[in-house]
Amino acid sequence: MRNFLRAYPTEAKLLAVLILICAVLALTSDSFATLGNLTSLLNNNAVNVIWAVGLLVVLIAGGIDISFAVAASVVQYLCVYAFAAIGGGNWGIGLLFAASIGAGLGLINAFLIHQFRIISIVVTISTFNAFFGLLMFFSSGRFLYNLPSWWSQRVILWEHQSPDGTWSEITLPVAVMAVAMASTWALIRHTTTGRQLYAFGDNAEGARRAGISIGLMQAIAFGWCGAMAGIGGLMQAHITKEVVPNALVGRELDVLAAVVLGGARLGGGRGSVLGCFLGVALVAVTQNGLNLLGVSPYAFKMVVGVIILLAISTSNIDLAQILAPKRKGRE
């Protein structure tokens, strides 16, 4: 327990706050702690978590990516046309295609950052404008509804009818989210590449002198983020059953806020998959709770903003220090 607090101070605090909020909501609202509500929270936030773990890898490597949500929109459009061209497709082809196109767009960022030594925020703001402008230009802002049936049909993996007759279910995006989380966790925690990503994010020059290939690190970080963006985009279109060119613009900042709330550091070298999940969960549970408590939906964002501000303002309090037994004298 103390090891967890010391290794993951932000995650531990976040978990404590999340449990507190959940407890309060469970006591004040009848419908919060129901299976139906919890599963729908999972279903509705799976895409955000997928994007969050992608962005996490970039943040760990010391970069930032503003363009991934727009890249996801680009992937959605290309997918629609590609699947129409090959006459259907299926989930395997779809996921592979979305991930590769997304990774390709991410690699454009990585190439510009590495080759021309441009800082990542400048590159991704440029590509944000370029991707979005070109997408809107070529799509003329048209919505697309003609998705192949495998793509737009809901895939229910698990369902359960409670005694009062309401259904609760887990859908495909949740499974994809779980795989995305597990693979990102494996990448950053259990591979040499993952350790190198942390080292590179913490001290790029130090990592370079230690023999780590800088270009490869950028390519892996942005490629991974792009692939996750693409898969997230595929899932988003699966949920909404339509492709809207400007639907995802602005989501990048919400996801960024959630990831950093979860303990990833802007500037690199720190962050965890658990933190990402908790960061997204905190925002989602808060909004869900406000909704169930009958607060006006217009006030949701305001409260979320306050919560993030408070979370940052208290982020320097060290829980491990408080919980640790007082040392007697100096060691």
Partner 1 sequence: MTVLYTRLARAFGAEVPGLLGFLALVLVVFGIMAPNFLTAANFGSIAFQLPELGILTLAMLIPIISGGFNLAIIYTANMAGLTLAFVLNLYGGPEAGVLPFVFGSVLAIGVGAASGAVMGLVIAYIGAHPILVSLAMMIFLRGLGEFLTKGGDISGFPPYLAVLGHGSVLGVPVPLILFGVCAVVWHVLLTRTRHGFAARMIGSNIRATTYAGIHTKRTLTLIYTLSGVMCAVAGILMLARFNSVRVGHGEALLLVTVLACFLGGVDPFGGFGRVVPVVIALVVLQVLSSGLNLLGANQHLSTAVWGLFLIAVMVLRWGAGRYRQRKPGKG
Query: Sign of dihedral through CA atoms 159, 33, 277, 286?
Result: positive
Which amino acid, residue 173?
Answer: P
Is position 202 an interface residue for partner 1 (rule: CB under 8 A)?
Answer: no
Binding partner 1 by CB under 8 A: which of 100, 152, 291, 315?
A: 315
Nearest alpha-carbon partner for 13 in 305, 326, 322, 327: 322
Nearest alpha-carbon partner for 70 in 249, 191, 224, 222: 249
Nearer Cβ to partner 1 (34/265):
265
Nearer Cβ to partner 1 (184/287):
287
The single-letter DSSP state of residue 158 is E
Is position 78 an interface residue for partner 1 (rule: CB under 8 A)?
Answer: no
Nearer Cβ to partner 1 (96/134):
134
Is position 267 an interface residue for partner 1 (rule: CB under 8 A)?
Answer: yes
Q: Phi/psi at 222 (nearest 5 deg)? A: -75, -30
Site string for partner 1, 283-302 (x = CB under 8 A): -------------x-xxxxx
Q: Phi/psi at 221 (nearest 5 deg)? A: -60, -55
Is position 248 an interface residue for partner 1 (rule: CB under 8 A)?
Answer: no
Q: 110-139: which residues touch partner 1 (CB under 8 A)?
A: 112, 116-119, 121-123, 125-137
Dihedral of the CA atoms 68, 77, 131, 137 (nearest 10)?
-150
Site string for partner 1, 156-195 (x = CB under 8 A): ----------------------------------------
d(CA 61, CA 229) in angstroms, rounded, equals 17
Binding site for partner 1 (CB under 8 A): 64, 66, 112, 116-119, 121-123, 125-137, 141, 250, 253-254, 256-257, 260, 265-267, 296, 298-306, 308-309, 312-313, 315-316
